[in-house]
Amino acid sequence: MDRYLEFILNHYILSLALAVVTYLLIQELFDVAFKKFASVSPLLAVTKMNDSDTIVIDVREPHEFITSHIEQAINMPLGKLTEELQKITTHKNKPVLISCQTGTRSASAAKLLTKAGFEQVFVIIGGIQAWEKDYKLPVKITSKQKNKITPST
């Protein structure tokens, strides 16, 4: 036991790093074990959209949303999501798909929705980037953005 204490005192940076990494691993295990939402691939998301009255929430900022988004998606930026939840409270028992650019903001939004009482929350893995580039699924471009993209003749 004395040798462990001596090692810790002599190598306090390594010991601190070990403690931090251990804490982060345990925290990640608890997050994965107790999360109340699921992750789905873009193809499974399409299946869910076709099978039921699923709503799609895009948590990107409006300027990102108009460049391309899933057909019939509702834009609710992550920063304003808690304020805008009353707009979709009628869908608490229905499937809710959440998308963002790469899938990182979606997890935060899913946690907010499950805390608000939504029962079937799904995060689209890879976000719009995977939807559009990896799976080559269709996206909608807002008409304002189409005018900017279309070359003038």
- Asked if residues 98 and 76 have their Cβ atoms less than 8 Å apart, the reply is no
For every residue of 88-128, DSSP letters joined together read: GGGGTTSEEEEE-SSSHHHHHHHHHHHHTT-SEEEEETTHH
Edge-to-edge order in the sheet of strand 55-58: 38-40, 120-124, 95-99, 55-58, 74-75
Do 48 and 122 belong to one domain?
yes
Are 20 and 43 members of one domain?
Answer: no
Q: What distance in Å separates the CA atoms of residue 105 and residue 90, rounded to the nearest whole number?
A: 23
pLDDT of residue 34: 84
Is residue 98 within 8 Å of 46, Cβ to Cβ? no
* The pLDDT of residue 151: 41
The predicted structure's pLDDT at residue 152:
41
**What is the residue range of 63's domain?**
36-149
Same domain? For 52 and 19 the reply is no
73 and 26 in one domain?
no
Euclidean distance between CA atoms 14 and 99, whole angstroms: 39
Do 95 and 123 have their domain in common?
Answer: yes
Structure confidence at residue 1 (pLDDT): 83
From first to last of its 153 residues, the chain has per-residue pLDDT tens of: 899 999 999 999 999 999 999 999 999 898 878 888 999 999 999 999 998 889 999 999 999 999 999 999 999 999 999 999 999 999 999 999 999 999 999 999 999 999 999 999 999 999 999 999 999 999 998 766 554 443 443
What is the C-alpha to C-alpha distance for residues 116 and 102, in angstroms, rounded to an integer? 24
87 and 22 both lie in a single domain = no
Same domain, 74 and 13: no
Please give the Cα distance from 131 to 138 (Å, whole number): 8
